[in-house]
């Protein structure tokens, strides 16, 4: 026998499904705690990503300069941007064809004027320093070689004194790049 209900009232045959407000609040609280615990590890991940991006940009600039020097049969210069301290490449760099061989960018409308090929700005959270060679410039001759390139550029996060997340690029005369990561000190 089925129960009798007053008219207009029916018993629902299906059960309600879902979360209660308390269950939802507990789940949100647990997610917040887990996010707070994971945040420091994501910070180091982003620092390494920014450093790797700066290293890759510098490598791309080296290859561009080398190809342009061979193609145009003229000297190409990679010069740190004005405004940085000596040996500091953290402001970025410019790649230009140096027609008059004075290591200074003097662009103009004539074909005999210097030609700016690329300007690269570095994120402010990345530090780049040079420890040898000519601290302001890397000159690439028409053979694609850099006679003054015996230097090492060190890349690292600005506020990191450990070697985690750091990288070094050692340049040779033939522009062979030896990249090491996580060794030595950050710049």
Mean pLDDT by 10 residues, the chain (187 residues): 59 68 93 85 81 91 92 91 82 89 79 82 86 78 82 82 74 79 63
What per-residue confidence (pLDDT) applies to 104?
82
What per-residue confidence (pLDDT) applies to 75?
92
Token pair, residue 187, equals: 């710049």
What per-residue confidence (pLDDT) applies to 7?
62
What per-residue confidence (pLDDT) applies to 123?
86
> Cβ of 3: how many Cβ atoms within 10 Å?
5
Q: Where are the alpha helices (DSSP H) in the chain?
A: 21-72
What per-residue confidence (pLDDT) applies to 150?
67
d(CA 35, CA 47): 18
Contact 111, 97 (CB under 8 A): no
Q: Which domains are present in the chain?
A: 21-181 (3.55.40.10)
d(CA 23, CA 46): 33
Contact 104, 116 (CB under 8 A): no
What per-residue confidence (pLDDT) applies to 67?
93
Going by C-alpha positions, the residue among 168, 84, 180, 76 that lies closest to residue 131 is 168
> Cβ of 130: how many Cβ atoms within 10 Å?
22
């Amino acid at each position: 026998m089925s129960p009798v209900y007053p008219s207009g009232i029916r018993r629902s045959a299906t059960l309600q499904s879902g979360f209660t407000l308390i269950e939802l609040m507990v789940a949100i609280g647990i997610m917040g705690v887990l996010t707070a615990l994971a945040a420091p590890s994501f910070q180091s991940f982003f620092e390494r990503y920014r450093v790797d991006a700066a290293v890759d940009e510098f490598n791309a600039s080296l290859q561009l300069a080398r190809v342009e020097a061979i193609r145009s049969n003229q000297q190409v210069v990679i010069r740190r941007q004005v405004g940085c301290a000596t040996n500091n490449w953290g402001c970025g760099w410019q790649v230009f064809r140096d027609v008059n061989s004075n290591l200074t960018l003097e662009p103009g409308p004539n074909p005999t004027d210097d030609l700016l090929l690329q300007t690269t700005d570095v994120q402010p959270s990345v530090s780049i320093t040079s420890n040898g060679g000519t601290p302001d410039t890397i000159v690439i001759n028409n053979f694609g070689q850099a006679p003054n390139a015996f230097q090492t550029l060190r890349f690292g996060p600005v506020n990191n004194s450990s070697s985690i997340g750091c990288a070094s690029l050692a340049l040779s005369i033939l522009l062979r790049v030896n990249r090491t990561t996580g060794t030595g000190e950050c710049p």
